[in-house]
Amino acid sequence: MSATGNTTETSSVAELGLRVKAASRVLATASTEQKNAALVAAAELLVARSESILRANEIDVARAESEGVSATVVDRLRLTPARIESMASGLRQVAGLPDPVGEVLDGWVRPNGLKIRRVRVPLGVVAIIYENRPNVTSDAAGLCLKSGNAAFLRGSSGAIDSNIEIASVLREAIASAGLPADSVVLVEDTSRDAAVEFMQQRGSIDCLIPRGGPSLIRSILDNATVPFVIDGDGNCHVYVHADADLEMASRIIVNAKMQRPSVCNAAETLLVNADVAGEFLPMAAAALEGVELLVDEKALAILPGATPASDEDWSTEFLDLRLAVKVVGSIDEAIDHIARYSSGHSEAIITKSLEAAERFTTEVDAAAVLVNASTRFVDGEEFGFGAEIGISTQKLHARGPMGLRELTCAKYIVNGTGQTRG
Amino acid sequence: MSATGNTTETSSVAELGLRVKAASRVLATASTEQKNAALVAAAELLVARSESILRANEIDVARAESEGVSATVVDRLRLTPARIESMASGLRQVAGLPDPVGEVLDGWVRPNGLKIRRVRVPLGVVAIIYENRPNVTSDAAGLCLKSGNAAFLRGSSGAIDSNIEIASVLREAIASAGLPADSVVLVEDTSRDAAVEFMQQRGSIDCLIPRGGPSLIRSILDNATVPFVIDGDGNCHVYVHADADLEMASRIIVNAKMQRPSVCNAAETLLVNADVAGEFLPMAAAALEGVELLVDEKALAILPGATPASDEDWSTEFLDLRLAVKVVGSIDEAIDHIARYSSGHSEAIITKSLEAAERFTTEVDAAAVLVNASTRFVDGEEFGFGAEIGISTQKLHARGPMGLRELTCAKYIVNGTGQTRG
């Protein structure tokens, strides 16, 4: 392994943490030019080293296949020249985004003359723990680098050969651009013990972001002692108000459910006001062809062929061509249903009523509340962030799509002329 | 116990959580007028009920005394008519502060016409776990209420009788102002099991803020599954640069160390540039009369009577009239020392050099970095926040003094005209 290689086989997680922390101090004050140069160098080297990355990936893919892993998982794991080019173009795109570091958030002068500014600074060390996709290694490292953070990465065992090779290429490119190779450090030990140790590196990790399913989230809740941001489930609702444009409502529920059912901002439940249910539900059912509707009693009376919903369906994130459907008597009932079952991700109302829109956006508690638009718009790209490290469903620190800005925090800078406290 | 009383004896922590969460939905959309009316009503009722509060407090004080608790702790626990008046005036002051809820943080229009706004909203349920001071019950509840949050409180067993009485008075006053009594819920079970259960109420708690010492913080790290903000230690440094006004430097270190040694923003280590150490240290030592200086070898050569510092002293938060002193060869050495030992609270440089000030404020990683001012200014009151719920030494969510703004989060509101994603 080269001098800029990961060389992590012999280091403990804690030792790696100290290395990445030391690098974070350098990155914190690196200029935008330097960081962009490193990103572009990384993009170029990824492409130049495609062959060795693909060779490493072949090992992961062969192992997955020999273990009888599902075709979907193998597909997520598999790299191709086009996928490597897409990783590279992601890095180039991040190089083109504005640097969030240094932005003055606000500032004021105190009666005693102290001048206080709140300035955006990197978090320091951002840790990412993730599942099979090897492109996360490059995507996450790029976002961290641009926002002045060192990236401390822990991928899954299934993608370990790919991840080691990608991390090694990134490190070499970053070092060639004059920034520390340890700006990206991958933990090569993929044991469960190492994962738990990783989640407890309070001496080095400033923020942990998990990218994975419920069992990973559960492990973070049980074991992590470092601060974390949860990228959680999306049990998203679309509520069709009595005073809605029903053609629009139909287009929106079709888009929210069907355009990409497997993602967190897809709709899972359709709530329809009783006044328009008789007209709307047959329209919607026709437009939602191919989607299994799981309906409450009132909806069943309108759509006699549909499947009756079970209690569990209201809280299920199907991530599939299934949609729970409920008829509600009022906006209050819709808001109450959402308060009870929502995961706080994205909630939409379709209405022409200003009052209903105002009530819904004020009273519904979610990262994003939409009026007359598909829930599918709630992501970093669609919000204009250029890139996204996840979508937070917690309220602390970041809520909703997380771009470069959400990978920063603030520092107070106080300028005085000798003031002392009386 | 009255209808608005806490009535928590028979409820589990989880049940209490659901009650406080239900109240938080009402509070989230309460008007500023309503919240202020509740705060003023609470202030009035605290004073009107002084006798019953003092009676309850007598029980706590007597128990503490019979258990042989130290005089300092008993003093913290003891309420007087003046202390109750001070709690009431705190609530009136919070009523007078601007309401952070509803502030539009930013907003933009996407090429497809979607209008996106980021709006400040309450966190929801803010949980506070705290030690002996019963005034925290009222102070924390007031800040939560003003920022539209329900307060879920868990005080110590030592102050339980006082806390029950204060919470009951607050609940009655809040209900009399037309807001839910459950806007303030105190957990009466002061067992360790109940504390752990409290830290794990993910179904109800949006943010947990501990107010207490290292053992409480450790318990949060080990047990909490809800998001939290740590109000941690302050190992604060004052660095006297070669190009400093030494009279100013002396005034500032005296203030930073001596004005109130027991608080987190007091200075614990003095770093002095070697070029000025010979002149400055004798001056400073004289001005710091009564402070025990724990000095490195170079400083010992200048102050031969002082105590040699041990390695441990550099990382100790003395909270006392003790100060570690080290002579450094350069600003780099000062910054490195701070990077190694700082707890990330407040760090100050005394200098006339623009370049040194710029380097120090850019390179030192702390919640607040000060130039030519005492570290003692880093708190909510001195920053102009009007009140403070704590000082965060973590980077996620809030960093530095936490006022009303830090008890909020953001929600995206997206207005469309029927947009669907392509």
- pLDDT digits 0-9 by tens, A27-44: 999 999 999 999 999 999
Convert the pLDDT of each residue in A220-243 to its tens digit. Answer: 999 999 999 988 889 999 999 999
Confidence of residue B386 (pLDDT cuts 50, 70, 90): confident
B244: CATH: 3.40.309.10
Q: Please give the pLDDT value at position A3.
A: 42
Tokens of A71: 């075709």
- Give contacts of A 294-333 with B, CB under 8 A: none
Does one domain contain both A43 and A146? yes
| Residue A270 in this model has a pLDDT that exceeds 60 | yes
Model pLDDT, residue B5: 54
Decide if A365 and B411 are in contact by the 8 Å CB cutoff: yes
Model confidence at A5: pLDDT above 60? no
Chain A: nearest CA to B25, how far in angstroms? 8
B383/A116 CB distance under 8 A: yes
User: In this structure, are residues B162 and B57 in contact, taking their beta carbons and an 8 Å threshold?
Assistant: yes
B318 falls within a domain = yes
Question: Which is higher by pLDDT, B355 or B71?
Answer: B355
pLDDT for residue A38: 98
Same domain, yes or no, for A278 and A406? no
Q: Are residues A161 and A191 in the same domain?
A: yes
Which of A76-80, A383-387, B131-135 has the largest mean confidence? Answer: A76-80
Contact residues, chain A, for B396 at CB < 8 Å: 123, 206-207, 227, 229, 396-397, 409
| Any domain includes B4 | no
pLDDT band at A25 (very low <50, low <70, confident <90, very high): very high
Residues of A in contact with B225 (CB under 8 A): 221-222
Asked if residue B31 has pLDDT above 60, the reply is yes
pLDDT digits (tens, 9 = 90+) for A333-352: 999 999 999 999 999 999 99
Alpha carbons within 13 A on the beta-carbon side of B115: 7
What is the per-residue pLDDT for A6? 52
Distance from B46 to chain A by nearest Cα, in Å? 30
DSSP-derived 3-state class of residue A272:
strand
Q: Are residues B43 and B174 located together in one domain of the fold?
A: yes
Question: Are A310 and A271 contained in the same domain?
Answer: yes
A362-387 pLDDT, tens digit per residue, is 999 999 999 999 999 999 999 999 88
**What pLDDT does B3 receive?**
42
The greatest distance separating any two alpha carbons of chain B, rounded to the nearest whole angstrom, comes to 79
Q: Quick one: average pLDDT of A400-409? A: 96
CB within 8 Å of chain B, chain A residues 182-211: 202, 206-207
B344 to chain A: closest CA residue: A411
Q: What is the mean pLDDT of chain B?
A: 95
Q: Do B316 and B281 reside in the same domain of the chain?
A: yes
Q: Residue A8 pLDDT > 60, yes or no?
A: no
Q: For residue B9, what pLDDT is reported?
A: 57
Structure tokens at B95: 């009523």
Quick one: how far is CA A248 from the chain centroid? 29
- Look at residue A364 and tell me if it is in a domain: yes
Give per-residue pLDDT as tens, A285-313.
999 999 999 999 999 999 999 999 999 99
Between CA B376 and CA A344 the distance in angstroms is: 40
Structural domains in chain B (count): 2
- Rounded to an integer, what distance in angstroms lies between the CA atom of residue A143 and that of residue A202? 22
Mean pLDDT of the region B158-162: 97
Residue A4 forms part of a structural domain: no
Q: Do both A378 and A407 map to the same domain?
A: no
Residue B228 gets which letter from DSSP?
A: B
Q: Is B336 exposed, middle or buried (0-12, 13-18, 19+ CB in 10 A)?
A: middle
Do B225 and B252 sit in the same domain of this protein? no
| Adjacency order of strands within the sheet including B125-130 | B184-186, B150-154, B125-130, B207-211
* Percent of chain A at pLDDT exceeding 90: 92
Q: Is the pLDDT reported for residue B7 higher than 80?
A: no
**Contact by Cβ (8 Å): B215, B195:** no
- Residue B160: CA count within 13 A, CB half-sphere: 12
CB neighbour burial string for B214-228, b if at least 16 within 10 angstroms, e if fewer: eebbebbbeebbbbb
pTM of the predicted protein model: 0.93
Which CATH number does the domain housing residue A68 bear? 3.40.605.10
CA distance B411 to B409: 7
Q: Are B56 and B102 in contact (CB under 8 A)?
A: no
Task: Examine the domain organization and report whether B174 and B304 are in the same domain.
Answer: no
**Domain annotation covers residue A191:** yes
Q: Tell me which DSSP letter residue B309 carries.
A: P
Q: B2 falls in which pLDDT band (50, 70, 90)? A: very low
Confidence of residue B10 (pLDDT cuts 50, 70, 90): low
Distance, C-alpha B404 to centroid of its chain: 12
What kind and span of H or E run contains A208?
Answer: strand A207-211
Partner-chain residue, chosen from B382, B410, B418, that has the shortest CB–CB distance to A372? B418
Q: Cβ B252–A420 below 8 Å, yes or no?
A: yes
Edge-to-edge, what's the strand order for the sheet holding A184-186?
Answer: A184-186, A150-154, A125-130, A207-211
Is A125 contained in some domain?
yes
Q: Work out the angle between the directed axes of helices A32-48 and A50-66 (0-180°, nearest 10).
A: 70
Domain identity same for B111 and B143: yes
Write the pLDDT tens digit of every residue in A139-181.
999 999 999 999 999 999 999 999 999 999 999 999 999 999 9
Distance from CA of A316 to the nearest CA of B (A): 16
- The percent of chain B in helix, strand and coil, each rounded to the nearest 5, is 45, 20, 35
Could you report the per-residue pLDDT of B175-197, keeping only the tens digit for each? 999 999 999 999 999 999 999 99
Q: How confident is the model at residue A2 (pLDDT cuts 50, 70, 90)?
A: very low
Sequence-distant (≥ 6) Cβ neighbours of residue B150 within 8 angstroms: B20, B21, B23, B24, B27, B124, B125, B126, B144, B180, B182, B183, B184, B185
N-terminal to C-terminal alpha carbon distance within chain A: 60
CA A335 – CA A263 distance, rounded (Å): 23
**Residue B264: domain span:** 236-378
Same domain, B51 and B80: yes
**Domain annotation covers residue A72:** yes
Mean pLDDT, rounded, of chain A: 95
Q: Does one domain contain both A221 and A337?
A: no
Of residues A10 and B318, the one with the higher pLDDT is B318
The secondary structure element, H or E, covering residue A350 is strand A346-350
Position B7 in a domain: no
Mutation site, B371, B377, B385, B406, interface A, largest A CB count within 10 A? B377
In percent, how much of chain B has pLDDT > 90?
Answer: 92
